[in-house]
Amino acid sequence: MSHRGPFLLLFATGRQLSTLLHEEMADAPLRPDDFAVTSVLLLEQPVRPTELARLTGLRPSTLSNYLRRFEADGVVSRRRDPDDGRANLVELTEEGKARTEACFPGFASAIGSFQKALAEAGVPELDVLETLEGVSRALDLALEKVTLEKVRRGQRRA
């Protein structure tokens, strides 16, 4: 039996996933972390940066760094939200779509390798998805509570 707690297990699985994706996507035009952002954009665009940050789990400041770099590389464009002129919408350029789609074979290979390993281990994929969704909801709730408590104590602005 493992003596690793939930946080160490999450950390370790995150590193394992990163390694698998880097191996399978070595020849892709985007790094796996960049692909994570652009693939969400491909599915959700146009999207406000705040929503993109929520969907990817990135802090808004971290996402801003990605978007600045992507914009400089011609991968994304920004425009004013017609529903709220104060907000921006982000979307992939044609170059961004092409680079993202060129990552699909390596990403599909990584997914296939993982699904095969799950089957060999006798672990139902649906169980993994349900568990991970629950873990994600619990982490969101924990972070929300920590943030609210810091705001209440005056350690952080709302």
Higher pLDDT, 126 or 153: 126
pLDDT tens digit sequence for 4-53: 899 999 999 999 999 999 999 999 999 999 999 999 999 999 999 999 99
Residue 103 tokens read as 């990552």
Residue range 53-101, pLDDT digits in tens? 989 989 999 999 999 999 999 999 999 988 888 889 999 999 999 999 9
Residue 84 is predicted with a pLDDT of 85
Give the type of residue at 10. L
Give DSSP secondary structure letters for the chain: -----HHHHHHHHHHHHHHHHHHHTTTSSS-HHHHHHHHHHHHH-SB-HHHHHHHHT--HHHHHHHHHHHHHTTSEEEEEETTEEEEEEEEE-HHHHHHHHHTHHHHHHHHHHHHHHHHHHT--HHHHHHHHHHHHHHHHHHHHHHHHHHHHTTSS--
Angle at which helices 32-44 and 6-24 cross, to 10°? 90
Evaluate whether 63 touches 37 at the Cβ level (below 8 Å). Answer: yes
